């Protein structure tokens, strides 16, 4: 008991310290989450009023222009103040995204009202509180403070570290999902269900936990000598049923609220997603894009998992984790804003990688002393990934993407939105006309790749100059009528 108290105290101090040295970043649907959080803190309901907008504006003055746009229209009897908000059938104004995360932020917001700490800190306090939950969940799983500490460190060292400062639930949901897996496999299914309910209420695909958590537990507990039916029966008891039901309740809650407020199951799905966008190209981009794909946030974790998995049980766990990640990923492929404000690895890939991280922790951490070299390499590799994620933003090419485009441009054919916005350093893909040519050049001014539309045939001049013709390039299809011209380019009269 004394060891647990010491561990809890150390983790609490570290998380509080991390929260107070972390500067809040208004990003990731921040107008919705900030105004809703202040609404709940002020009047205990998620309907947004003018006073809530003013309170959010005072806490995040950098967003003044956007908050003023909301405030100017908030009392209009009809219409929508701005994208991300919609007036309900009863006349109240709500944010598109569900309010479970803002409700959790409201507690520290109220507490900070009596202190001199800026209220914006409430968001990072809430985010780091989930890391504390994760540290305690991993200690329950591993029954070792040092092993739990290593697991928590690896979570912090995912390439998604940039999200810990965001005023949105990416960081909290990722930690909640990882904690839920640890709790479910350490026989605390109801707590796991509560954490999953929160995560799934913000990111609906996390409801996949309901199917994959029991599968992972079954693989861990599987015995050859016990008949399959008996093992399934053994693994299903009332506590696990309740835990999964709680998780399902959290996943369903946003849909019920949407029906009540707007008469549709999901306002986000109907306004900002498209099933037509799902395809192999998007999935490959999700996993391997050198600007924002899952691989740049979890490089050493994926390599470590492949290196440590040997036994049949571990192979099955790894396969199940990969399938879990794919299920988490698929709904996100419908989003219309693919080059969304990413902090290194894209936000969807960050939390979708949690099953992979969990299986690595489950297999590697208990034997880290025997596999200390691999554990050290994983930590070092993730330190590099974490640092690299801080060196560029979503309107810049990553160091790896620049290298590939400079040396082998034909090998990287990103989603056009990624290429355009990161090449021009502006959030404007929807405003690119078919007669424009977007050219990526190296730092020494050599053009290596160009994006052109099939309707635009006069692409020679931007790359070669008037009166010259372009030669010596290859062509790659980019979808939607767009195509890439890959250098090195040669020009002739």
pLDDT at 460: 62
pLDDT (mean) for 46-52 = 94
pLDDT (mean) for 157-168 = 90
pLDDT (mean) for 38-57 = 95
pLDDT at 123: 95
Q: Taking 70 as the threshold, does the pLDDT of residue 458 lie above it?
A: no
Q: Which two tokens stand for residue 441?
A: 């050049």
Q: How far apart are CA 342 and CA 119, in angstroms?
A: 24
Q: How far apart are CA 162 and CA 344, in angstroms?
A: 7
Residue 284 exposed, middle or buried by CB count within 10 Å (0-12, 13-18, 19+): middle
pLDDT at 430: 65
Q: How far apart are CA 314 and CA 197, in angstroms?
A: 27
Residue 80: pLDDT band (50, 70, 90) is low
Q: Which two tokens stand for residue 456?
A: 């635009």
What is the 8-class DSSP label of residue 23? Answer: P
In 3D, which of 446, 396, 457 has the Cα closest to residue 421?
396
Residue 275 exposed, middle or buried by CB count within 10 Å (0-12, 13-18, 19+): exposed
Q: Taking 80 as the threshold, does the pLDDT of residue 429 lie above it?
A: no
pLDDT at 318: 96
Q: Taking 80 as the threshold, does the pLDDT of residue 122 lie above it?
A: yes
Q: Which two tokens stand for residue 375?
A: 């554990």
**b/e for 73-99, b at 16 or more Cβ within 10 A?**
ebeeeeeebeebbbbeeeeebbbbbbb
Residue count (the chain): 493
Q: At what angle do helices 238-262 and 209-221 cross, to 10 degrees?
A: 170
Q: Taking 60 as the threshold, does the pLDDT of residue 404 lie above it?
A: yes
Q: Which residues are within 8 A (CB) of 130 and not within 5 positions of it... i.e. 6 or more apart?
A: 171, 172, 175, 176, 179
pLDDT (mean) for 24-51 = 93
Q: Are 242 and 343 in contact (CB under 8 A)?
A: no
For the chain, the domains span: 20-123, 124-389, 399-492
Per-residue pLDDT tens over the stretch 225-280: 777 677 777 777 889 999 999 999 999 999 999 999 999 999 888 888 888 889 99
- Lowest-pLDDT range, 75-89, 350-364, 436-450? 75-89
pLDDT at 461: 60
């Amino acid at each position: 008991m004394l060891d647990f108290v010491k561990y809890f105290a150390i983790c609490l101090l570290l998380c509080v310290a991390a929260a107070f040295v972390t500067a809040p970043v208004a990003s990731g649907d921040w107008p919705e989450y900030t105004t809703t959080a202040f609404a709940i803190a002020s009047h205990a309901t998620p309907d947004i009023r003018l006073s809530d907008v003013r309170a959010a504006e005072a806490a995040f003055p950098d967003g003044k222009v956007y908050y003023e746009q909301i405030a100017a229209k908030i009392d209009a009897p009809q219409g929508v103040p701005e994208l991300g908000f919609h007036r309900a059938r009863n006349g109240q104004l709500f944010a598109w995204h569900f309010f479970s995360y803002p409700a959790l932020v409201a507690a520290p917001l109220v507490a900070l009202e009596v202190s001199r700490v800026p209220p914006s800190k409430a968001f990072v306090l809430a985010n780091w509180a989930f890391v504390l939950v994760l540290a305690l969940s991993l200690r329950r799983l591993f029954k070792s403070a040092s092993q739990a500490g290593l697991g928590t460190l690896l979570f912090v060292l995912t390439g998604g570290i940039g999200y810990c400062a965001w005023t949105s639930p990416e960081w909290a949901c990722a930690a909640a999902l990882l904690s839920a897996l640890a709790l479910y496999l350490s026989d605390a299914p109801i707590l796991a269900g509560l954490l999953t309910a929160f995560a799934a209420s913000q990111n609906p695909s996390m409801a996949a936990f309901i199917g994959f958590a029991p599968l992972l537990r079954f693989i861990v507990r599987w015995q050859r000598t016990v008949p399959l039916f008996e093992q399934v029966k053994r693994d299903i008891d009332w506590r696990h049923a309740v835990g999964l039901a709680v998780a399902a309740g959290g996943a369903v809650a946003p849909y019920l609220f949407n029906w009540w407020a707007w008469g549709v199951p999901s306002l986000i799905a109907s306004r900002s997603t498209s099933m037509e966008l799902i395809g192999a190209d998007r999935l490959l981009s999700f996993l391997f894009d050198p600007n924002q794909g899952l691989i740049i946030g979890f490089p050493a974790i994926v390599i470590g998992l492949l290196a440590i998995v040997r036994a049949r049980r571990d192979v099955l766990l790894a396969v199940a984790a990969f399938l879990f990640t794919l299920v988490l990923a698929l709904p996100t492929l419908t989003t219309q804003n693919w080059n969304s404000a990413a902090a290194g690895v894209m936000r969807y890939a960050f939390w979708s990688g949690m099953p992979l991280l969990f299986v690595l922790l489950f297999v590697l951490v208990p034997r880290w002393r025997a596999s200390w070299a691999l554990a050290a390499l994983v930590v070092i590799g993730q330190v590099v990934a974490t640092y690299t994620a801080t060196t560029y933003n979503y309107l810049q090419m990553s160091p790896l993407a620049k290298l590939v485009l400079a040396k082998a441009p034909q090998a990287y054919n990103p989603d056009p939105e990624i290429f355009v916005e990161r090449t021009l350093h502006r959030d404007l893909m929807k405003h690119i006309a078919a007669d424009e040519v977007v050219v990526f050049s190296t730092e020494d001014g050599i053009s290596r790749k160009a994006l052109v539309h099939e309707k635009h045939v006069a692409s020679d001049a931007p790359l070669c100059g008037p009166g010259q013709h372009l030669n010596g390039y290859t062509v790659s299809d980019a979808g939607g009528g767009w195509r890439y011209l890959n250098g090195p380019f040669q020009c002739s009269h």
